[in-house]
Amino acid sequence: MSSARIKVLCVDDSALIRDLLSEIINQHSDMEVVAVAPDPLVARDLIKQHNPDVLTLDVEMPRMDGLDFLERLMRLRPMPVLMVSSLTQAGSEVTLRALELGALDFLAKPSMGIRSGMMEYGELIAEKIRAAARSRPRQVRQKDRPTPQTLKAPMMSSEKLLIIGASTGGTEAIRHVLEPLPSNAPAILITQHMPGGFTRSFAERLDKLCQIRVKEAHDGERVLPGHAYIAPGDQHLELARSGANYVVRLDSGPPVNRHRPSVDVLFESAAKQAGRNAIGVLLTGMGKDGAAGLLTMRNAGAATVAQDEESCVVFGMPREAIALGAADEVLPLDAIAPRLLKLVAASGRAQRV
């Protein structure tokens, strides 16, 4: 970004949300709301007029649905879009669809005390806008997306584990990694930064698309091959042991790196419990959560992979990990799933730790 202020256009049918977003954004010296719109039809003209760097877009609006508008926008004029979403089951499903269509990230509207709730995470809103302004908008042609070929992995080990962390841009990156994996893939533990209420919908959506079983993690359940376990949106996910078995541990302790769930918490537990039997993967995301944890995994003998800059929506977390020397390999997103299965197959029988 140049030193010029980030230009933001807020599109929301609620005058209160438009006012609050304007107030929050305009408090920061490096960004400003250049215009607001009550619906996408007004927004269309304002985009031409102001050429904003970032758009905030409500999901449910009159005159044109937010998703229809987003789909057209990403086809005709790709730009960084932050969805403003309600914390409902329906809201979370629509938000995940928006991320598929090319939205970068989302802001969850508080369910109660809207003014105080929005003000409370004003800093997070500003951070997301900064990340959006630096991001690479994706032109998504959904109809052209080929069905992924299921990868074949010859020598599977029930001891091996894939440990994945992601943040901004991660919902689609994770789908990209999981979708081609065969049903006998090793067990997978995933921390994706996401508020509570969204992770169940995320897991259900992935479960429909993947050969493996994808579910929101439950405390104490056994970690099984062919399954992926996603950290609930308000709890840390850790790998633990119960006798000879790996199990899930959920923890409501304080945020780490300002996140709960935190990628560092997951990676550090995997380093401790699985050592060289784990493979760590750090995908797109803003900030540095997961960088130190990936280094801990590498030092414990795990193979480690970071997503490359070119394929990241936001190259924050992988960049920090690479700078620490935490990544054995830096790979484009398309190459990660095949590489993971080669690493698993090459290791043959798993090592006991």
pLDDT tens profile 181-211: 999 999 999 999 998 889 999 999 999 999 9
Segment of 2-11, 61-70, 202-211 carrying the highest mean pLDDT: 202-211
Euclidean distance between CA atoms 285 and 307, whole angstroms: 10
Considering only 20-24, 45-49, 121-125, which range has the smallest mean pLDDT?
121-125
Question: Is residue 57 a contact partner of residue 11, using CB atoms and an 8 Å limit?
Answer: yes
Average pLDDT over residues 299-327: 97
Residue 335, pLDDT above cutoff 50: yes
Residues 6 or more apart whose CB falls under 8 angstroms from that of 242 comprise 220, 222
Confidence at residue 150, expressed as pLDDT on a 0 to 100 scale: 65
Which pLDDT tens digit goes with each residue over 122-136? 898 999 999 999 997
Which pLDDT tens digit goes with each residue over 68-80? 999 999 999 999 9
Which pLDDT tens digit goes with each residue over 147-167? 565 666 555 555 799 999 999
Residue 144, pLDDT above cutoff 50: no
Stronger pLDDT, 65 or 231, i.e. the higher one:
231
Which pLDDT tens digit goes with each residue over 86-139? 766 677 888 899 999 999 999 888 877 888 888 888 898 999 999 999 997 765
Q: What are the helix (H) ranges across the chain?
A: 15-26, 40-50, 66-76, 89-100, 114-120, 122-134, 170-178, 199-209, 263-274, 291-299, 317-324, 333-346
Query: In whole numbers, what is the pLDDT of the chain averaged over residues?
Result: 90
What is the maximal distance between C-alpha atoms in the chain? 64
Active site residues: 167, 193, 289
Angle between helices 15-26 and 122-134 (to 10 degrees): 80
- The pTM of this model reads 0.90
Selection from 276, 281, 268 nearest residue 240 by Cα: 268
Q: How many beta carbons lie within 10 A of that of residue 51, not counting itself?
A: 12
Average pLDDT over residues 225-248: 96
Question: Is residue 141 a contact partner of residue 101, using CB atoms and an 8 Å limit?
Answer: no
Quickly state the pLDDT bin for 347 (edges 50, 70, 90).
low
Residue 213 to residues 28, 225, 228, Cα–Cα distance (Å): 43, 9, 6
Euclidean distance between CA atoms 211 and 303, whole angstroms: 24
Domains and CATH numbers, the chain: 6-142 (3.40.50.2300), 161-346 (3.40.50.180)
Euclidean distance between CA atoms 319 and 251, whole angstroms: 27
Q: Identify the H or E element spanning 283.
A: none
